[in-house]
Chains A and B, each alone.
Chain A
Amino acid sequence: MKSKILTGALAWLLAISGLHVTLNVGWGELWHDVQVMLGSARRTLVAGFLPVT
């Protein structure tokens, strides 16, 4: 019973995390962030602008 609860909780955690990455983060972005943390890629710089000169 205990292992079923743990498995269920783990499955739920993985599912909700996967959904969050898919909807809000993007797998490419996540992979890039991991590479930045590992030092194998450079960070992404986001520059804000208004469509006016």
Chain B
Amino acid sequence: MTSHSDRGSFFRSAKFTDWPTVKEALIAREIGAAFILAPMAMQLKADGVPIKIVYLGHRDGTAIVVGSDSHIRDFADLRGKTIAIPSRYANQNLLMHKMMRQWNMPADSIELREVPPPEHPSALRSGSIDGYIVGEPFAAQSEVDGYGRVLYHTKDIWPDFISCVLVVHEGLIAEDREIVQELVDGIAKSGKWLDADMAHRMDAAEIAAEHFYFQDPELLKFVLSKPVDRVKYTHLAPLKADFDEIMELAVDIGILDGPIAFEEYVDDSFVRPLESMDWNMDRLPRGGEGP
């Protein structure tokens, strides 16, 4: 693992525990880029924060989880229940509203409660909520620990679901397009490597658990393999059709005051076909081979 690109640019990650602090760090330019919730990125742009979505972090990787011994078998059974969401600006919130419409349920038929993602599993375990919808690995955590059951994976109810997007400060785009391009290329190539081989995913789980997430590697291995398409790391270009749907839902349920033009908050000029990138996927070391 290195902290620099092939061209010598240095990249560092900064771990946050809540979304408002990420927002402040972006505004203050303490960080040049961040992975944030898609509707939140739209809202920040609407608020005048100079950022652009340049790429996606992943696709899918979210689930609706209920208690393992609960009688909830389908979405209609959630009527009258309390379900935790990560934030009102999360696409998970939009998905719950989209599902309520599909099942002809009024918008207030499920109580949606904002709970920080790491607290979702413990809230379910304590019985203070009936279920939750959140990104991995917190969906899998209660499943692995035996008290949660996945009701739906997003891949089955909103295929190619978008949760987190990569946003970059417009100042950085103006000053140093090259480093943004390197970051986007790096994510694209890492995603291709991850989706190419299950062994790569297992290696990535070890690395992420030790150096970034500080979570049990077995939990991350579960997330990346049970099932294998639980979360995907390819097809990460920000597409207008996807974002139009998110925008329409967000405006409809009052998360956004009004629509914003796609070009206002997305800069897809950094997206390049993977085939055009010069990168030897096989040179990465495998377990025990050393750097």
Contacts and interface: CB of A to CB of B under 8 A. Distances in A.
A41 B176 CA distance: 13
A1 interface: no
A43 B176 contact: yes
A44 B30 CA distance: 11
Nearest to A50: B16
A39 interface: no
Nearest to A44: B10
A32 B10 CA distance: 10
A52 B9 CA distance: 26
Nearest to B231: A53
A6 interface: no
B31 A46 contact: yes
A42 B15 CA distance: 23
Question: Taking chain B's interface residues, is the majority helix, strand, or loop, or is none over half, making it mixed?
Answer: mixed
Contacts of B9: 42-45
A49 B10 contact: no
B65 interface: no
A51 B215 contact: yes
A51 B15 contact: yes
Nearest to A41: B8
B131 interface: no
Interface in B264-284: none
A30 to B, nearest CB: 14
Contact of B19 (A45, A46, A50): A50
B270 to A, nearest CB: 13
A32 B117 CA distance: 36
B137 interface: yes
Interface string B9-26: 111111111110010011
Contact of A51 (B58, B176, B213): B213
Interface in B228-250: 231
A49 to B, nearest CB: 5
Contacts of B58: 53
6 contacts: A43-B9, A45-B180, A48-B16, A48-B26, A48-B35, A52-B135
Given A45-B9, A45-B180, A50-B117, 5 more contacts: A44-B12, A46-B30, A47-B13, A47-B166, A49-B16
